[in-house]
Homo-oligomer: A and B are copies of this chain.
């Protein structure tokens, strides 16, 4: 892979697209077209939404099963081809169907060599538990030419323990496919999900790229709150209010995430008092 052409860092993109449950080919094509646009603008890491190909608002377990796919199915095949075509890394969600027929709300990180890691969402939102088996493994941190990348999915971001685990494991950039259900908070406020992304990034001095959806699906209005947040906790790019499809790009100096110092004597990880955190695991 070649270095980013934009700035001295890595150009990270999130592709906030509109999807429709039950139209898998159309959804996948929509995500790939946005990825192509991001690549044309220099993106070296591209994040796409949760459950990209299937859509999200299933009517029944049967529908979810019919729209799910094996890990080596059409989504990863298409993402791998795109990663090769552009020489980049891509993260996206998929409804994963295991050989035993169980479904998981998964995400893959793909580079030109293929799937580098798969992550299964651990914290399930609302009706997801009717369709999916929750994951039971922490995200792996994957060493790439660009830096150390990891995956979490949507509601996982609202568990600061989980974001901390990824930070402690050494992630420079957390790629987070999401489908945040709205409505969006008005009054000029950021969606609270974005506030939580900001806090998680700052608490761990790492980058987080959250790719949300836009539009509505069977009555669910998506927040359309995609954001790329830097290690100081402030957005480097964020979706404009109004919810249009959009590709956000940010020049991320991912090496900055290796520096956890916040004062001459303070370090966001070394200052932790893990011996006192026992009740978190009880």
Q: Which residues of A contact B (CB under 8 A)?
A: 122-127, 129, 134, 136-138, 155, 158-165, 168-169, 185, 189, 192, 195-196, 198-200, 202-203, 232-234, 263-266, 268, 271-282
Contacts and interface: CB of A to CB of B under 8 A. Distances in A.
B203 A160 contact: yes
Given A189-B234, A195-B233, A232-B192, A279 B165 contact: yes
- Across the A-B interface, the 4 shortest Cβ-Cβ residue pairs: A199-B199, A160-B160, A192-B233, A126-B263
A191 to B, nearest CB: 10
Nearest to A202: B192
B268 A277 contact: no
B198 A192 contact: yes
B199 A160 contact: yes
Contacts of A134: 273
B136 A276 contact: yes
Given A164-B280, A280-B161, A273 B123 contact: yes
A234 B192 CA distance: 8
A196 B202 contact: yes
16 contacts: A123-B273, A126-B264, A137-B276, A138-B276, A155-B266, A160-B199, A162-B277, A164-B280, A165-B279, A165-B280, A189-B234, A192-B232, A195-B202, A195-B233, A199-B200, A274-B280
A2 B160 CA distance: 37
A125 B192 contact: no
Q: Which of A122, A233, A274 has the largest count of B CB atoms less than 10 A from its CB?
A: A233
Nearest to A122: B273
A272 B159 contact: yes
Contacts of A234: 185, 189, 192
Contacts of A264: 126
Given A125-B263, A155-B271, 9 more contacts: A123-B271, A134-B273, A155-B266, A159-B271, A159-B272, A161-B161, A195-B233, A196-B199, A277-B280
Nearest to A188: B188
A196 B192 CA distance: 11
Contacts of A159: 203, 271-273
